[in-house]
Structures are given as C-alpha cells and as structure tokens.
Amino acid sequence: MRRLKITRMVVLLLVCIFIMSLTVFQGNVVSGQNQFKAEITVISGDTLWSLAREHAPRGMDIREYVDLMLNENNLESPIVYPGQVIQLP
C-alpha cells in the first residue's frame, strides 16, 4: 500500500516536470528565441541589401530586414566586407 502511494507520487511529480518543461520550451519558440542562428560569410560583391533580399522571410519588407540585420550584428553602417560573418535575424 505504501509502495503504491510512493509510485503515484513519483508519477505525478514526473508529469508535473514534463508539463513545466513543455511550457518553458513553448515559451522560447513563441518568443522567437533560438540558440542556433544562421550565419553567412560575406563574399565579394555582396551588399547588405542583396543579402537581405536573398534571406528575408517571404513578404517582409527588405528595408525592415536590412534594419534587423544591422541591429542583429551591431553594425553602424550597411557596408559589409568579404570574409565578414553576418548573423541572420
């Protein structure tokens, strides 16, 4: 009888932990948090505008995506150089 109570308590505890972990995971997904951001390496001829045009989500204004790229990479200027690594928002 006592063993059954302990088993039930452990199961209940595991279910609670599982539900809490799903809530935390879902919160990260909804808020857009992602540990694995895409990176690109600038090659000769690339501009921030051309990179934004290539990588912006469908339907998003390119100017808005350029601003996001500037902010994401702490860039003060839209000028990029070959070999420079750019984080995509």
How confident is the model over 12-68, as pLDDT tens digits? 777 767 676 656 555 555 555 555 578 999 999 999 999 999 999 999 999 999 999
The pTM score is: 0.58
Q: Which residue has the tokens 């290539």?
A: 54
**Higher-confidence residue: 31 or 78?**
78
- pLDDT value at residue 61: 94
Please tell me the distance from the alpha carbon of residue 10 to that of residue 39, in angstroms, as a whole number. Answer: 43
Q: Which residue has the tokens 């857009």?
A: 32
SS (H, E, C) 33-83: CCCCCCEEECCCCCCHHHHHHHHCCCCCCHHHHHHHHHHHCCCCCCCCCCC
Select the CATH number that applies to the domain covering 37-89 from these four: 2.60.40.2550, 3.40.50.1010, 3.10.350.10, 3.90.1720.10. Answer: 3.10.350.10
